[in-house]
Structure 1
Amino acid sequence: MSETQTFPGIYLVTPLLEEAAPFLPALREALAAGGIASVLLRHAEMDAGALRRLIGEIAPPVQEAGAALMVACDPKTAREADADGVHVSGAGAPLAAAIKLLAPERMVGAGGLATRHDAMSAGEAGAEYVLFGDWDAPLEGDALIERVQWWAELFNIPCVAMAESLAGAKPLADAGADFIMLGDCVWSDARGPAEAVHEARRAVGETLA
């Protein structure tokens, strides 16, 4: 993830996937729109072998598009499947273990940060980024904007903010988020994922070619 860009990057998060094939067309369409910094793969409960196969199908289009594939899974499986990193919920022992196993070759990000103390602990542990407003520690509206502003003013570690809608991307960008995470509002957009990504990129201040 670049820290030199002048506008927030787009960080896509998948639905909870059981298999890749039904989702790949939407993923490829979103990636083709450009400007995607990272994709977070979330998955249904499955054994390690099935998860490695899922990662193996999702990773090529993501990485070929120049984006990083992060996976919400155990770090050993992510490394074996050649993902670019893992996303960990919380600032405790699992985060420390993932960083110990993967850093600095692969990225480790942290979400599920319910308090400011949790976010600071994740940063001190060596997280590549902190995520606010996600499914494990929901924050909405002014509370999310205030959390992003607080982090952006005090810390250099990149901040990711979860936008529940395309309209929510601009306020979070204005608050200082380095990356805007988008999920269902992209995948369920009636215009298609590509147009949703284009709208998000324009909203955060990127000039499209």
Structure 2
Amino acid sequence: MSPETPQLYLITPPAIDLELFPNILARVLDAHDVACLRLSLATRDEDAILRAGDALRELAHARDIPLVISDHVLMVERLGLDGVHLSEGNLRIRKLREELGADAIIGAYCGTSRHDGLNAGEAGADYVSFGPVGHTALGDGQLVERDVFEWWSEVIELPVVAEGALSRDVVEAIAPITDFFAFGEEIWSTDDPALTLSDLTATLR
């Protein structure tokens, strides 16, 4: 991929089977040039998060891929992760930067709000993500308008991530105006995630 081509960012399923998922993930990571991996589990069970974090950290770091975790800030240091992705707003970013240090990755999901994205950037986020970009039954049905990405790419230097119900057509349409595409259930819900990711990103090559 050329330097102008958006990079790939993967989001884990909300529940993973540690007997199966690490091997599936490894095949995807070996087949694609992935820039970042996000551990995003629905469970709040500490032991389950720790075991998943240990397994995925080994896979990611062996391939020089940073691993961030959704919201569980205290797990960053315990698991030796690279940072945290905040799924709700940016109220804690300044404090987290002080706690985690300058080298930690801090990302913020900002929904469809350009204003929230600007606030996150000013507070010290390393990237912001907007979504959903495709039609989904989740949430309130509101999609990120294309002009949010257009404006961001023209005015703001902070990297931006497009996520949520990505399709091949959406990827092709937004590719010129985003820095990353974050794929999750779009690939994990299929029989061959590596092949599905190839198909979804075919227009990037």
**Fold conserved between structures, TM > 0.5:** yes
> Partner of 2:198 in structure 1?
198
1:10–1:180 Cα contact (<8 Å) kept: yes
SS of equivalent to 2:149: helix
Task: Specify which of 7, 10, 13 is matched with residue 11 of structure 2.
Answer: 13
Q: Quote the Cα distance in structure 2 between the aligned partners of 1:32 and 1:66.
A: 12
| Aligned pairs for 1:163-202 within 5 A | 163-167=164-168, 168-174=170-176, 176-190=177-191, 192-202=192-202
- Superposed CA deviations along residues 178-197 of structure 1, whole A, max 9, x for unmatched, are 0011111211234x112122
Pick closer, same or farther for the CA change 1:98–1:48 going to 2, 3 Å.
farther
> Partner of 1:62 in structure 2?
60
RMSD: 2.3
1:160–1:181 Cα contact (<8 Å) kept: yes
Corresponding position: 1:119 with 2:121 = no
1:130 shift after superposition = 0.5
1:56 shift after superposition = 0.5
Corresponding position: 1:74 with 2:72 = yes
Q: Quote the Cα distance in structure 2 between the aligned partners of 1:123 and 1:200.
A: 29
Q: Quote the Cα distance in structure 2 between the aligned partners of 1:179 and 1:194.
A: 17
SS of equivalent to 1:29: helix
Q: Quote the Cα distance in structure 2 between the aligned partners of 1:99 and 1:75.
A: 11
Question: Gapped runs of 5+ residues in structure 2?
Answer: 133-137
2:89–2:108 Cα contact (<8 Å) kept: yes
Aligned length: 198
Task: Specify which of 92, 100, 104 is matched with residue 90 of structure 2.
Answer: 92
Q: Quote the Cα distance in structure 1 between the aligned partners of 2:148 and 2:159.
A: 13
Q: Quote the Cα distance in structure 2 between the aligned partners of 1:66 and 1:139.
A: 35
1:18 shift after superposition = 5.3
1:63 shift after superposition = 1.9
1:89–1:95 Cα contact (<8 Å) kept: no
Greater Cα shift, 24-33 or 47-56:
47-56
SS of equivalent to 1:43: coil
Counterpart code for 2:93 = L
Please report the TM-score for the alignment, with normalisation by the length of structure 2: 0.85
2:90–2:108 Cα contact (<8 Å) kept: no
| Aligned pairs for 1:133-148 within 5 A | 133-134=131-132, 139-140=142-143, 143-148=144-149
1:65 shift after superposition = 2.2
SS of equivalent to 2:80: coil
Q: Percent identity?
A: 26
